Amino acid sequence: MKKLAMMAVLLILSGCNLRVLDPKSQTASDQAFLIYLSFGIMMFVVLVVTILFIGFIWKYRETEKNRYDIPKHEEGNRTLEIIWTVLPIILLIGLAIPTVMITYDVSDIGATSDDTLHVNVVAEQYQWTFGYENGKETHKNLVLPVDQEVVLHLTSKDVIHSFWVPKLGGKIDVLPGEENQMKITPNEEGTYQGKCAEYCGTLHTDMRFETEVVDQEEFQQWLEE
C-alpha cells in the first residue's frame, strides 16, 4: 500500500508545471483564467455525479425490508430528462463564451497601437534569434519592457519548432516559410524561462532561453547599447 501511495505521489509531482498558473502577462492571466474556469466546471460535474452516485447507492441498498421487493416500473421523468439535457448545454456555453472572447482578443494582432514593440523571432536548429526594430539581435535572452504591448513575429529556418514562455503565455508553433504572431503584455518584472516545446532534433534541449522583463528606462538603455 505504501509503495502504491509513493508511486502515485511521484507520478503527480513528475507532471507538475505550475508556471502556467503563475502568469506574469495579460495573455497568460487570461489563459490561466480559462484553465481555472474549465477545472471548476469539471469539478462541479464530478461533485454532482459523486453525490448522486453515493445517494443512489444508499437509497437503493439492500435491506431486510426490501430484499425481496420488486421495484415499480418507471416510464420516465420529464423533469430530470430536461435537467440533464439543458444543464450540460449551459455549462458548455459558460465555457465557450469566455474562451472565444479571449482567443479572439489574443489573436487580434491587427489591433495594435503605435507604442507596440515588434520583435522578430527566428528559430533554427538549435538556437533562437531575437531581432529588434533598431537592428539589434540576441540569441540566449529575450528582453522585453514591462507594461508594454509586444508582438512577436515568429518563423523558422528549418523544421517546426514551438515557442513557449509558460509565465507569459501559451505555446505557439513556429513554422518554416510561414509567420505566426503572438501578442503579450508583460506586467511584472523578472526573468522567465523559455523553451522550444516541439521536439526538433538531437539537441532539442539546447533551445532554451531567458526572457528578461525590465522597466522602460532599463529597456531603452539596453536597446541602445
Q: Beta partners for 176?
A: 156
Dihedral of alpha carbons 215, 219, 221, 222, sign: positive
Name the residue ranges covered by the structural domains of the chain.
Answer: 117-224
Residues in contact with 200: Cβ distance below 8 Å, sequence separation at least 6, in sequence order: 123, 125, 126, 159, 160, 161, 207
- Convert the pLDDT of each residue in 97-114 to its tens digit: 999 988 887 776 666 677
Q: In the chain, helix, strand, coil percent, each to 5?
A: 40, 25, 30
What's this model's pTM, rounded to 2 decimal places? 0.74
Question: Can you give the pLDDT at residue 67?
Answer: 77
Are the C-beta atoms of residues 23 and 192 closer than 8 Å to each other?
A: no
Cα 77 to chain centroid distance, Å, stands at 40
Question: Is domain 117-224 in CATH 2.60.40.420, yes or no?
Answer: yes
pLDDT of residue 10: 46
Digit-coded pLDDT (tens) for 180-201: 988 888 988 999 999 998 888 8
